[in-house]
């Protein structure tokens, strides 16, 4: 049970966390702070938070847990502002999609990442953004990755883990570099590819026709290109090295597929498509079976 | 009203067409032929067809409409077999995703594409395949593109148009080259990219972890990589030139985005992501509003 939770940056993530914890009665008081008073006012109207303050010092005073829920690059700046306000009894966590840049920023500000700062990343989202899009079940059955460091306090880690578990999430621990590489592959790279494809087509002279005849496959494939561009701009810069690595691996593979199509090498084309289908089906079918197995006892 | 409809190759497309026409009482008799007796037998069990014959001559005898519903490359071979069986009263159409190769194959076989052969492509599908996946509403509110040639019979064209309209589809006419370019951009290229990404990740040493932490965005983005690899192998070869063109346009754009990320050019990254989001939102929101507008009167 958290007595006072302060959310810095009230949007989809922070709002959904507040809703879920309130629904589970896992928090007594939720306070928010941020720069956009409209979001804070809206959060109050919606009952997502109990109060807000534009003054960060006031908002975080006596908080048990402070969640930095701003876009990635702003999170770095927030830490600078938060540093003098942190007390030993306050546990700080974040929800940013990249962990390496947060770790580096914290090291710059504090010398080393404070033991009561737990780096975290809930793997959940939506192409919608803002507190209006917040839902009570955004994290339900989703994974939250925590990337504790050697000096991270066991008590702080355990409290943040409980907080996410109260939202119905499964918490997994991983090291920072592994997290950033895995997320680059499964999330950041697909976003870059989807944005790139839609932008390339939109600049085509026949764009209207192209979009007009797009079917369900295109709709799904490009859904993530409707994500918040500010957030993804931040992620592209924050996880630069791992994303460049992902783009290069993808491009090298695409060149091979291109060569197979150009030379009419049907066997190579089929082998690629077939391996991909098997890998995807096996993965998602595996997940499906695991859920089926889990259901009766849960 | 079609008296006898013959489907060559009974799978998702042919089966769904038969179901829809039967539901609308727009056909009296549906006969199927093909090489896989299991599919034909299953179609009969499911009531999708009224009878079948492994002998194409028997199956198409006295048919008003013959639909070639095999994978793209097999459609070329089917035409060769069908040529001596065609009569002036028989209207032939196909459902292949690429039209240029079908046109070229027909020219090779017949000298010119017969006036009673209407090239067609219903823009509908599923990552499922086979007659078991056939549904009555696969074509409902979907577009069907017909690509008539100069000598195509007006009566034949009009009958095939009515057939698809009876399934609830909107029929659009387009020329062959335009069709193949538009489909390369909106469908064939996305499939190639999705297959390529999943295959690249599956070959990564950390594949298990990568897939384990994949979230909803990845699932949607890669859904089309679960499509039938045989069908997409055929399409990749049949629409070679337009797909290579699409890959090259995409790769050039990806190189620009890569350069922007590598140089930390936040403005260029944001501009790309923002343009893509606007283009996609405008397109799909436009579609949504058009449907809303249409609903009250339909």
Within 8 A of B275 by CB-CB distance, chain A residues are 199, 202-203
pLDDT exceeds 80 at position B19: yes
The alpha carbon of residue A113 is apart from the nearest alpha carbon of chain B, in Å, by: 25
Across the interface, which of A209, A237, A247 has its CB nearest the CB of B254? A247
| Closest to A225 in 3D by CA, of A249, A208, A241, A201 | A201
From chain B, the residues in CB contact with A145 under 8 A are 213
Instruction: Identify which of A289, A233, A297, A288 has the alpha carbon closest to the alpha carbon of residue A73.
Output: A233
The closest CB to that of A261, out of B143, B243, B275, belongs to B243
Could you say which residues from 267 to 296 on chain A have a Cβ atom under 8 Å away from some Cβ of chain B?
Answer: 269-270, 272-277, 279-281, 283-284
Q: Which of B143, B178, B186 is the best residue to mutate to test the A interface, defined by the most A CB atoms within 10 Å of its own CB?
A: B186
Q: Same structural domain for residues B153 and B70?
A: yes
Long-range contacts of A138-141 (CB under 8 A, 24+ apart): A138/A12, A138/A13, A138/A16, A138/A20, A138/A167, A139/A16, A139/A17, A139/A20, A139/A164, A139/A167, A139/A168, A139/A169, A140/A20, A140/A167, A140/A168, A140/A169, A141/A168, A141/A169, A141/A170, A141/A291
A123 and A71 inside one domain: yes
Q: What average pLDDT score do residues B265-275 get?
A: 97
Give the torsion sign (CA, B182, B184, B186, B188): positive
The closest of B5, B263, B167, B65 to A240, measured between CA atoms, is B263
- The residue among A147, A174, A201 that closes a domain is A174
Give me the pLDDT at residue B286, please: 64
Instruction: Kindly give the interhelix angle for B229-238 and A266-294, rounded to the nearest 10 degrees.
Output: 150
Q: Is residue B165 part of a domain?
A: yes
**pLDDT at A286 (0 to 100):** 64
State which residues form the domain around A15: 2-174
Residue B293 lies in a domain: no
Q: What is the dihedral of CA B191, B196, B199, B202, to 10 degrees?
A: -110
Q: Are B99 and B147 in contact (CB under 8 A)?
A: yes
Residue B213 has pLDDT above 90, yes or no: no
Domain count, chain A: 2
Mean pLDDT of all residues belonging to chain A: 92
Per-residue pLDDT, A125: 76
In a domain, A157, yes or no: yes
CB-CB neighbours of B258 under 10 Å: 18
Q: Is a pLDDT exceeding 80 seen at residue B203?
A: yes
The CATH number of residue A207's host domain is 1.10.3660.10
Q: Average pLDDT in the B245-259 region?
A: 97
- Residue numbers in B near A269 (CB within 8 A): 233, 236-237
Task: Indicate if A25 and A160 belong to the same structural domain.
Answer: yes
Reduced to 3 states, what is the DSSP secondary structure of residue A8? strand
B254 contacts A196? CB cut-off 8 A: yes
A274: chain B residues, CB-CB within 8 Å: 229
Please tell me whether residues B143 and B191 are part of one structural domain: no
What are the structure tokens assigned to B168, written together?
């609830």
Cβ burial A52-84 (10 Å sphere, 16+ → b, else e)? bbeebeebbeebbbbbbbbbbbbbbebbeebee
Q: Domain for residue A274, yes or no?
A: no
The sign one gets for the Cα dihedral B240, B246, B252, B258 is: negative
Question: Cβ contact (<8 Å) for A187 and B240?
Answer: no
CB atoms B251 and A253 under 8 Å: no
Gap between the Cα atoms of A29 and A167, Å rounded:
16
For residue B263, what pLDDT is reported? 98
- Say if A143 is an interface residue toward chain B (CB within 8 Å): yes
**Residue B104: pLDDT band by 50, 70, 90 thresholds?**
very high
What does the pLDDT read at residue A298?
Answer: 35
Q: Is the dihedral of CA A218, A220, A226, A230 positive or negative?
A: negative
Q: Which of A171-185, B18-32, B81-95, B200-214 is the least confident region?
A: B200-214
Share of chain A above pLDDT 90, in %: 82
Residue B185 lies in a domain: yes
Mean pLDDT is lowest, of A87-96, A203-212, B210-219, B238-247, for A203-212
**Is residue A189 less than 8 Å (CB to CB) from chain B?**
yes
Which residue from B79, B85, B29 is spatially nearest to B52, judged by alpha carbons?
A: B29
Is there a single domain that holds both residue A114 and residue A146? Answer: yes
Is A193's CB within 8 Å of B254's CB?
yes
Mean pLDDT value of segment B234-252:
96
Domain boundary among B174, B203, B220: B174
Predicted confidence band of residue A204 (pLDDT cuts 50, 70, 90):
confident
Residue B212 and residue B91 share a domain: no
% chain B with pLDDT above 70: 94
pLDDT over 80 at B285, yes or no? no
pLDDT band at B287 (very low <50, low <70, confident <90, very high): low
> In which residue are the tokens 């999705």 written?
B194
Is pLDDT at A293 greater than 70 in this prediction?
Answer: no
Q: Which residues in chain A touch residue B186, judged by CB atoms under 8 angstroms apart?
A: 201, 210-211, 213-215, 218
Q: Are residues A255 and A185 in the same domain?
A: yes
What is the pLDDT averaged over residues A133-154? 96
pLDDT band at B166 (very low <50, low <70, confident <90, very high): very high
- Mean pLDDT confidence for B237-266: 97
- Would you call B262 an interface residue with chain A, using a CB distance cutoff of 8 Å? yes
- Measured CA distances, A110 to A33, A76, A160, A177, A183 (Å): 22, 12, 21, 20, 26
Mean pLDDT for A259-279 is: 97
Q: State yes or no: pLDDT of A296 exceeds 50.
A: no
Average pLDDT of every residue of chain B: 92
**A-contacting residues in B 119-138 (Cβ below 8 Å):** 123-125
A203 shares its domain with A153: no
Q: Give A269-294 as a DSSP string.
A: HHHHHHHHHHHHHHHHHHHHHHHHHH
Phi and psi at residue B8, in whole multiples of 5°? Answer: -100, 110
Does the pLDDT at position B277 exceed 80? yes
**CB distance from B259 to chain A under 8 Å?**
no
A264 touching chain B per CB within 8 A: yes
Over residues B40-92, the pLDDT tens digits come to 999 999 999 999 999 999 999 999 999 999 988 898 899 999 999 999 999 99
Residue B297: predicted pLDDT = 40
Instruction: Indicate whether B243 and B99 sit together in one domain.
Output: no
Q: Which residues of B touch A279 (CB under 8 A)?
A: 198-199, 201-202, 207, 211
Provide mean pLDDT across the span B145-153.
97
The 10s digit of each residue's pLDDT in A46-60 is: 999 999 999 999 999
Which value, in Å, is the radius of gyration of the alpha carbons in chain B?
A: 21
What is the structure's pLDDT at B125?
Answer: 76
Q: Is B145 an interface residue toward A (CB < 8 Å)?
A: yes
Does residue A280 sit within a domain? no
Here the CATH number for the domain that contains residue B124 is: 3.40.50.720
Give A79 to chain B, closest Cα distance, Å: 21
| 3-state class (DSSP) for residue B67 | strand
Tell the burial category of A154 from Cβ atoms under 10 Å away from its Cβ (0-12, 13-18, 19+). exposed
Position A298 in a domain: no
| Cβ contact A195:B273 at 8 Å | yes
Q: Tell whether A164 and A204 lie within a shared domain.
A: no
Percent of chain A scored above 70 by pLDDT? 94
Does the CB of B140 have a partner CB in chain A at under 8 Å?
no
What was the pLDDT predicted at A128?
79
Q: What is the DSSP letter of A11?
A: S
Among B218, B235, B268, most A C-beta atoms within 10 A, so best to mutate, is B218
How far apart (Å, rounded) are the C-alpha atoms in residues A295 and A173? 24
Domain assignment present for residue A127? The answer is: yes
Give the DSSP H or E segment for B5: strand B2-8
Q: Do A162 and A191 fall within a single domain?
A: no
Residue A169: pLDDT band by 50, 70, 90 thresholds? very high
Q: Are residues B147 and B21 in the same domain?
A: yes
Region A153-171: what's the mean pLDDT? 98
Partner A contacted by B205 (CB < 8 A): no
Contact status of A110 with chain B (Cβ, < 8 Å): no
The dihedral of CA B101, B106, B108, B109: what is its sign?
positive
**Confidence at residue B298, expressed as pLDDT on a 0 to 100 scale:** 35
Q: For residue B288, what pLDDT band results from cuts at 50, 70 and 90?
A: low
- Say whether residue B150 is in contact with chain A using an 8 A CB cutoff: no
Among A198, A220, A236, beta carbon nearest to B220: A220
Domain boundary among B174, B197, B226: B174
For range B198-217, the mean pLDDT: 81
Contact at 8 Å (CB) between A227 and A191?
yes
């Amino acid at each position: 049970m958290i007595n006072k939770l302060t959310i810095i940056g009230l949007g989809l993530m922070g709002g959904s966390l507040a809703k879920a914890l309130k629904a589970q009665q896992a928090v007594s008081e939720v306070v928010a702070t941020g720069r956009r008073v409209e979001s804070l006012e809206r959060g109050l109207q919606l009952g997502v938070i109990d109060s807000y303050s534009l003054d960060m010092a006031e908002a975080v005073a006596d908080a048990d847990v402070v969640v930095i829920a701003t876009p990635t690059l702003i999170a770095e700046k927030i830490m600078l502002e938060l540093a003098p306000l942190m007390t030993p009894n306050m546990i700080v966590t974040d929800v940013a999609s990249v962990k390496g840049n947060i770790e580096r920023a914290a090291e710059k500000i504090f010398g080393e990442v404070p033991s009561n700062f737990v780096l975290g990343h809930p793997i959940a989202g939506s192409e919608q953004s803002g507190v209006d899009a917040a839902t009570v079940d955004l994290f339900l059955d989703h994974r939250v990755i925590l990337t504790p460091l050697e000096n991270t306090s066991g008590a702080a880690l355990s409290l943040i883990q409980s907080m996410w578990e109260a939202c119905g999430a499964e918490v997994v621990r991983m090291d920072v570099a592994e997290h950033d590489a895995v997320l680059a592959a499964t999330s950041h790279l697909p976003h870059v590819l989807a944005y790139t494809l839609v932008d390339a087509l939109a600049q085509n002279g026949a764009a209207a026709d192209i979009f007009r005849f797009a079917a369900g496959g295109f709709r799904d494939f490009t859904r993530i290109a409707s994500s918040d561009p500010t957030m993804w701009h931040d992620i592209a810069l924050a996880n630069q090295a791992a994303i460049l690595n992902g783009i290069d691996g993808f491009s090298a593979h695409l060149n091979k597929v291109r060569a197979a199509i150009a030379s009419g090498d049907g066997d190579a084309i089929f082998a690629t498509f077939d391996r991909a289908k098997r890998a995807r089906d096996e993965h998602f079918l595996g997940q499906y079976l695991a859920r089926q197995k889990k259901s009766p006892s849960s």
